[in-house]
Structure formats: C-alpha cells, structure tokens
Amino acid sequence: MSEWWTYRLESFLLFSPRVYWRMFELHNAALWPLQLATLASGVVIVLLVLRRAPGHGTWIGLILGVLWACVGWSFLWNRYAGINWAALYVAPAFGLQGLLLAAAGASGGLACDRRDVTGRLGLLLVASGLAYPLLAPLLGRPWISAEVFGVAPDPTAIATLGLLVAAGGRWQPLLCPIPLSWLLLSGLTLRTMGEGQALVPLAAAGTAVALLILRRAPSSTPA
C-alpha cells in the first residue's frame, strides 16, 4: 500500500473491543470442556520438566506441537479470521511452530536437564501461561471470555516461551521468533484497542527475551 507511513496503528484495527472479547466467549462456549484437557496438558508439561523423566522432551514437543497447530487452525483460521483477515496469514505460522516444536522435541532439543535460576524462572513463565484465564475476572470480564492455554494464542505463546527458557539448547533461535512475534502483535492490538491488558503479552515477551539472554550468558552454568 503506498504512503504506508501515513497510516497509524488505529488504521489497521478492524474490530471493537466488545467484538474481540465476545469472540473468546463464543470460542470457549464452542470448545467447552476442551479447555480442561488443554490446561491438564499444561500441568503435564510442568510435571515432565520437574521430574525429568527420560524422553520427556519428546513428549513436551509433541504436546506443544499439537496445541500450536490446534490454536492456529481452530482459533486463528476458523475464529479470529472472521473479524481479522490478517489472521489467515498468521495461522500457517502457528502450524509451522507446531511442526518445529515436535521436531525439536523428537531430536532432544526440548530436554530440560538443567536446574538453575533462569530455568526455574522459565517454569514460572510456563505457570503464568497456565494461570492466564484468571486475567479475565481480574480485569472485570466474565470467566467465559478467559484466554486458556492451548485454546487461545497468548497463554500458549507465553507458556511455550517459558518452556524454551527452561530447556535452552540450539533449537531456541528457531523456536522463539514465532511466539515472540505473536505476543508483540497481540500486545499492539490490545494497546490499539485501549485495553490495559496490552501490558501483559508485551511484558511476558520482554521477560522471555531477558531470560533467554541470561540463559545464553556464559555465567549461567548448570546446577
């Protein structure tokens, strides 16, 4: 589009906050009680990391891979694209992230074998992704509009980044860009809508980047 610099973020916002939050209500109502299963799978990921059972990385990669593909297909492609045509272009990236996560898991790239402070903070980020549904009532919205890990993109991206912080490894440069970009996009969308919640995905992305840098620093030795 020519003269693109004359466009503000508001020029690209296609929907009202009311329609945006009702979209989550409709999506949750359509999928219920699948949310319980996706949340349980998140808890399983945390337990796998804590127990460090042999081959846990493979399972984590598989679970996260399936969830990313489902969020891309079910939420972005079939739901969000209804009010935001740009979601059609983002959905394939979620599919790709799913494939990458499964491949990383299968090749040992998601093994969380190190116990250090950054690793634990990474787990805390996973936990905050799982606790994300609490934001809805905390910010005065009904429970039914809650964003749930494995169903909505923001908590899925946050928990995934937490896991990547905990795992470290050479797959990180491949696995981090899509969740980080999504959180940036989501934060900007919420900000443009004037929603205070915008801070949450942006702060989560910032925290993840800081932890990823810390994790790669030479002083971060295995405990």
Partner 1 sequence: MITRRRFIEAATACGAAFALPAPAPAATPAPMARAIPSSGERIPAVGLGTWITFNVGDDAALRDECTGVMAAFFQAGGRLIDSSPMYGSSQPVIGYGLGKLGRPAALFSAEKVWTSSPAHGAQQIEQSRRLWGVERFDLVQVHNLLAWEAHLETLFAMKAEGRLRYVGITTSEGRRHELFEEIMRRHPLDFVQLTYNIVDREAEQRLLPLAAERGTAVIVNRPFRQGALTRKLAHQPLPGWATEIGAGSWAQVLLKFILAHPAVTVAIPATSRIDHVRENVAAAADPLPDAALRQRMAAHVRTL
Q: Name the percent of the chain in helix, strand, coil, to the closest 5.
A: 75, 0, 25
Question: Shortest Cβ distance from residue 8 to partner 1 (Å)?
Answer: 9
Which DSSP state fits 201? H
How many Å apart are CA 178 and CA 86, to the nearest integer?
A: 15
Size of residue set near partner 1 by CB under 8 A: 26
- Asked whether position 113 contacts partner 1 by CB under 8 A, the answer is no
Question: Shortest Cβ distance from residue 17 to partner 1 (Å)?
Answer: 10
How many Å apart are CA 180 and CA 142, to the nearest integer?
A: 27
Interaction mask 134-173, partner 1, x per CB under 8 A? ---------xx-----------------------------
Comparison of 32 and 89: residue with beta carbon closer to partner 1: 32
- Asked whether position 3 contacts partner 1 by CB under 8 A, the answer is yes
Q: Which residue type does 86 have?
A: A
- Asked whether position 84 contacts partner 1 by CB under 8 A, the answer is yes
- Asked whether position 2 contacts partner 1 by CB under 8 A, the answer is yes
Stretch that binds partner 1, among 24-32, 52-60, 109-117, 133-141 (CB under 8 A): 24-32
Comparison of 22 and 115: residue with beta carbon closer to partner 1: 22
168 φ/ψ sector (left φ>0, alpha ψ -120 to 50, else beta): left
Among 44, 83, 93, 174, the residue binding partner 1 under the rule CB under 8 A is 83
- Asked whether position 195 contacts partner 1 by CB under 8 A, the answer is no
Q: For residue 122, give every residue at least 6 positions away whose Cβ sits within 8 Å of its Cβ, in sequence order, or none.
A: 162, 163, 164, 165, 166, 167, 211, 215
Question: Shortest Cβ distance from residue 122 to partner 1 (Å)?
Answer: 33
Bridge partners, 149 (sequence order):
152
Q: Which residue type does 123 have?
A: L
* Maximum C-alpha span of the chain: 56
Question: For binding to partner 1 (CB under 8 A), which residues are involved?
Answer: 1-3, 6, 10-11, 13-16, 18-19, 22-23, 25-26, 29-30, 32, 79, 82-85, 143-144
